[in-house]
Amino acid sequence: MKKYSLSLLAASVLAAGAAQADSFNIAGGLDYMYSDMDGSAQHQDRNYSSNSLWTTYVDFRHPLLMVPNVNFQATDLSSDASGFDNKLRTYDFAFYYSPFELDTLTLNTGLNYRRYDGTLNHNHDYSNYAIMLYGAAETQIPGTDLGAFADARVSHWDSDHSHDWKVGVSYVVFPDDILKLKLRAGYRNIRVNYNEDSVQLDQHMDNWFLGAELRY
């Protein structure tokens, strides 16, 4: 069932590849969120400490037909509680097309490859991967430098029910320059559901976030 669903999804994504950006451009950004965490680890409920979550990302778009655009995102999802420490980073590679793109609205759809790399209690290294659905939308309010955006990475295969989605608003500080600075603020919701390598995690965190992006 999982392979069948992925095959249908891949075919749908490829069919969307007829529409792409009309030029090469690249963006890089940094988001920050301070969040509480709840959930279980190693089959025990934990009283987690609040943590600062940092995310860096790079987005590359091009006009080549049938070749997907690429969005890379790295997030530190480390957590700690009494008698428990988990250093976890996720690395997301989203390969996507833009089936609908106008001056004021862009829709993206594709697949996301996620890599988990962690160390549990300082002595147990673990790593694995997940295939996730990826979608994003961005709109610019006509006549202003204000915009809104949303993006999501979601998996619902077997025992992996993870997600990472955000919605927010943006403001372009220097709209007429070749190098555009964009300030971002919004709400982010993350769930990590991991059951591999003798490691069990089901963790949830959410809060408001702030960020900045440079696009060339």
- Quote the pLDDT of residue 44: 93
Strand, helix or coil for residue 173: coil
Q: Give the mean pLDDT of the chain.
A: 89
- Quote the pLDDT of residue 22: 65
Cα 40 from Cα 20, distance rounded (Å) = 42
Q: Could you tell me the pTM of the whole model? A: 0.87
Average pLDDT over residues 103-116: 95
Give the pairing type, strands 105-120 and 124-140. antiparallel
Domain at 2-215: CATH code = 2.40.160.20
Domain ranges of the chain: 2-215
Cα 127 from Cα 89, distance rounded (Å) = 10
Band (pLDDT 50/70/90 cuts) for residue 16 is very low
